[in-house]
Amino acid sequence: MMIHVSRDGEQFGPYTLEDANAYLAQGSLLPSDQAWYEGAPDWLPIIEVPGIQWEGASMVAPSVAATVAATGGKTKTLMYAGIAAGALAVFGVVGWGYPGVFKKKDSSASMDADSSGNKKGAAVSTPSALGSTSFAKTAEPVFRKYGCFDCHSSKESNKVEADFDLSDRTTWRAFLSPNQEGNPATAPLVLAITATAANGKPMPPKGPRVSDAEVETIKKWIVAEWEM
């Protein structure tokens, strides 16, 4: 049985009986909500739907029963009014605030999927798969710009020249360790990207040279990496 729910002129669902009971228990659905299911003659309070279980009924039943007895049981309307009043006492402002949080059945799946991971559009700072966050933000863009991953990445190109693998942080030490302590300009990596054909083997071997500003970026990254 699929249950359609109406509140303040807006319809939700349809829900299975199990879902409706669960939402009623947690306060997403209220006992004052109207419901309809196939075969029902008209909309009726959701707590009248066969199979609906509402624990709040036991909390207000004594007062409702007394009221009905006092009036001679004239109408069911009074009983439902008492039940609704009890529900408000149980759920308070939170219950009535639910329409903004109240999720339609169609959207609940996507909401659950989003809650299992990161929220869409949220900025999350995570380390690069190839190294630290510092590498991802500073050095990696430079290396990619000049095609260094083509010759120095076992994961992306299956090529690792000179044993310097940008995909394997354990190979970095020999290339980032300055020949002069505290001077990143003497690190083998910096010497390679600033070399010329006259004084060594320039890196990258083809294409434009690494700019002075980008060399400084690499130096700063080496300092940061070395201190980690």
User: For 13-58, how does the pLDDT look when each residue is reduced to its tens digit (9 = 90+)?
Assistant: 899 999 989 888 888 889 999 999 999 999 999 999 999 987 764 4
Q: Rounded CA gap, 215 and 194, in Å?
A: 8
Q: Which of 115, 145, 162 is the last residue of a domain?
A: 115
Burial pattern 191-210, b for ≥16 Cβ within 10 A else e, equals bbbbeeeeeeebbbeeeeeb
Q: Are residues 95 and 189 in the same domain?
A: no
pLDDT at res. 33: 93
187 part of a folded domain? yes
Pair 83, 153 in one domain: no
- What is the predicted pLDDT for the residue at 215? 93
Number of domains in the chain: 2
List, in order, residues 6 or more apart from 57 with CB less than 8 Å away: 31, 47, 83
Per-residue pLDDT reduced to its tens digit, 102-121: 444 444 443 344 444 443 33
Query: What does the pLDDT read at residue 186?
Result: 92
pTM over 0.85, yes/no:
no
Q: Are residues 7 and 111 in the same domain?
A: yes
Largest Cα–Cα separation, the chain: 109
Is residue 123 a part of any domain in this protein? no
Q: Does any domain span residue 105?
A: yes
pLDDT value of position 16: 94
187 shares a domain with 157: yes
Domain final position from 115, 150, 165: 115
Which residue segment(s) compose the domain that 43 sits in? 2-115
Ranges in the chain, pLDDT < 50 = 57-75, 78, 90-131, 228
What's residue 36's pLDDT? 94
DSSP β-bridge partners for residue 152: 160
